[in-house]
Structure 1
Amino acid sequence: MTLLEARDLRVEFVSRGRRARAVDGVNLSVAEGEIVALVGESGCGKTTLARTLLGLERPVSGSVRYGGTPLAYSSRALKAYRREVQLVLQDPTGALNPRHTVYEAVAEGPRIHRLPDEGERVASALSRAGLRPPERFFGRHPHELSGGQRQRVVIAGALALEPRVLVADEPVASLDASVRGEILALLLRLRAELGLSALVVTHDLGLAWNIADRVAVMYLGRIVESGPVEHVLTAPSHPYTRALLSVLPDSPAPVVLGGEPPDATRVPPGCRFHPRCQVLASGAAAAAGVDGLCVSRPLPVLPSSPGAHVACHHAEATMLTGRADDRS
């Protein structure tokens, strides 16, 4: 069952007369017990989309749905919703008040929601997050903990509310390589033990490969490719996905993208990736007869259904050619 969903979501910001289309038509879903990775370079709209799914930003159109019901934006409705859908921030040092003890940090959520058995909730959450015995950490302050322990405290703070979905924004970006695997293993264990769903926002495709069931690749405010993680990361169809994958250590050669970095105030006509597209620049799009479409015809918003989807004129033409060859 789909638990958290964005339907044709659009979020805009206006500054000095310029309108930035930060999220420009996104369909995205997270099912019960599923981990979805949202990947893309900085500035593509990942964090804005995550904030909108949490109710921290309001869309100009489209909707956020939880359990099939559109999100309401009254204070009471948002408070109830945020007990079910919890945020795990990128920087555990910035997320924790340096004056609060670990106990106070984890107990903050249950106190806001006036939940019973505070001490038991805090101890259970810390234990599930891998800080055992939990009582040993109650009186400690953030500066007395390692980076990995601080991230576990942040996760425990979310778990204390017994949520059904975690939205994790770059959850291991600030951690040492030796600790990253431990936090990823923790998220997988929480999914197995508690049935938690998660949306993991990251620029790291290696992380997506290790933790996600599905991956959605975002560029300039829109999902340009999505599907099962094995399909997207082993046989990417979109040239932007191939460029992202090319920087991984085992890639044969990096793809250097030309043109300007994406600017949400100036979305180009046609395919929004075409000014930087290596397929168009190499002449492969022209050989397939779609170069005119690339620069003039916009691509439709991809659906949120579980299958593999791509928004690329060249990929569509290639698939059609392959089907014709199969029939012949």
Structure 2
Amino acid sequence: MTTAQEPGGTLLSAADLHIAFPGRRGAPTARAVDGVDLDIRAGEIVALVGESGCGKTTLARSLLGLVPPTSGRVTFAGEPLDYAGRALKAYRKRVQLVLQDPSGSLNPRHTVYDAVAEGLRIHGYAGDERAAVAEALSRAGLRPPERFFLRYPHELSGGQRQRVVIAGALVLEPELIVADEPVASLDASVRGEILALLLRLREELGLSALVVTHDLGLAWNIADRVAVMYLGRIVETGTVEEVLTSPRHPYTQALLSVLPEAPGDPVVLSGEPPDPSRIPGGCRFHVRCQVLASGEAQRAGVADHCRKVDLPLLSGGGETQVACHWAVAGGTP
């Protein structure tokens, strides 16, 4: 498999990305992605983490070319993403999607062979289709692959169905996969196997991955770097060890506090879940922030900033960054 960049070079990049959806019947516009910079390097696994409704799936779909941005741009291997039909088809061969629900993404009337071969047929593959399907299934851990050719999805376990979905992505030899909650629908006993598979594919193929998840525990087990998203923006980013062992943003701290192994009591966030049609002024997290509610931000002298002063976008690179007045002022967990 060939890659567009040397290991460590930027493969996929979003710059000042905005995606807005007009409201129905006079409802306000939803700013689902409201200014995001994000880089993914060749051979790197990045976890994009946040609650439902934070914009992470919309961002991922835009990086795949499925949702054109309202403004900003996406580049791949240094070239701006072209949304014209032929160029976009070529791009989607290089960047593949793995969905969270294998039962929903596999046609129950198609055999495993047809499900994996579908991408080859769409892209007019001229090689040995049977050999390519067998290799993809084998790489995904379904061996011997011929034993699975004529099976249907209902004849497989949940873990096997997810491996078929991964094989369907691998058969086109992509350089990057976008995995949206790749183990959310699987039993705990199978989750580790699928995560180990993704890590092995990175080692064997140099494959890059963006893993979209609400689960910081999953990010810890698989990612090199993590980007925490809240209400359309990335609010904290850095290496997985730095962000998850020393979180600086109160939102990241709250997400981590509910993990079973976390010390102390879970942080229960007050207020409503994020609403992209009603983004508050100042720090967009301030209406639910436990640090502001507890008086810590007031004692640090930044409470007014939290309520009134917007924060700059974080850059998309690998350095550790946080969008939080309290953390920048020296606040500590």
TM-score for the superposition, normalised by structure 1: 0.97
Q: For residue 229 of structure 1, what is the aligned residue in structure 2? A: 240
What secondary structure is seen at the aligned counterpart in 1 of 2:160? helix
Report the alpha carbon displacement of residue 68 of structure 1 after superposing the two structures with TM: 1.1
Cα deviations by residue, 1:210-243 (Å, 9 ceiling, x for unpaired): 0000000000000000000000000000000000
Q: CA deviation at 1:111?
A: 0.7
Deviations 1:10-57 (A, max 9, x none): 000012232000000001111000000000000000100000000100
Q: Which range moves more in the overlay, 272-281 or 248-257?
A: 248-257
- Which of 3, 6, 9 is the aligned partner of 2:17? 9
1:127 to 138, 143, 149: 138
Point out 4+ residue stretches in structure 1 off by more than 4 angstroms.
none
Deviations 1:260-305 (A, max 9, x none): 1111001000000000000001111011100000000000010011
CA deviation string 1:190-228 (max 9, x = no partner) = 000000000000000000000000000000000000000
Q: How does 1:276-287 map to 2 (within 5 A)?
A: 276-287=288-299
Amino acid at match of 1:281: A
Query: Tell me, what secondary structure is at the counterpart of 1:306?
Result: coil
Q: Identify the residue that residue 296 of structure 1 maps to in structure 2.
A: 308
Q: How does 1:77-116 map to 2 (within 5 A)?
A: 77-115=87-125, 116=127
Amino acid at match of 2:175: R
Unpaired runs of at least 5, structure 1 = 322-328
Amino acid at match of 1:8: D
Partner amino acid for 1:12?
A
Distance 2:222 2:47 in 1: 8
1:135-190 Cα distance to aligned partner (Å, 9 max, x none): 00000000000000000000000000000000000000000000000000000000
User: Could you tell me how far 1:132 is from its partner in structure 2?
Assistant: 0.2
Alpha-carbon shift at residue 114 of structure 1 (Å): 1.0
Aligned to 1:170: 181
Q: Secondary structure at the match of 1:143?
A: helix
2:256 equivalent in structure 1: 245
Q: Distance in 2 between matches of 1:155 and 1:10?
A: 29
2:158 maps to a residue whose letter is: G
Residues 1:75 and 2:81 aligned together: no
Write the distance in 1 (CA, Å) between the matches of 2:276 and 2:225: 26
| Equivalence for 1:186 | 197
CA distance in 2, matches of 1:62, 1:228: 25
Following superposition, the deviation at residue 253 of structure 1 comes to: 1.0
Aligned to 2:13, the other structure's residue is in SS state strand
The reply to whether residue 22 of structure 1 matches residue 32 of structure 2 is: yes
Pairs within 5 Å for 1:192-271: 192-251=203-262, 252-271=264-283
Give distance in 1, aligned partners of 2:47 and 2:273.
Answer: 22
What is the root-mean-square deviation in Å for CA atoms of aligned residues?
Answer: 0.9
The farther-off stretch of 246-255 and 270-279 is 246-255
Partner SS for 1:236: coil
How much does 1:76 deviate? 0.2
CA offset digits 1:104-151 (Å, max 9, x no partner): 000000111111211111000000000000000000000000000000
Counterpart of 1:307 in structure 2 is 319
* TM-score between both structures, scaled by the size of structure 2: 0.95
Q: Percent same amino acid at aligned positions?
A: 73
Shift in Å at residue 250 of structure 1? 1.6
SS of alignment partner, residue 29 of structure 2: strand
Which amino acid in 1 is paired with 2:217?
A: G
Secondary structure, in 3 states, of the residue corresponding to 2:330? Answer: helix
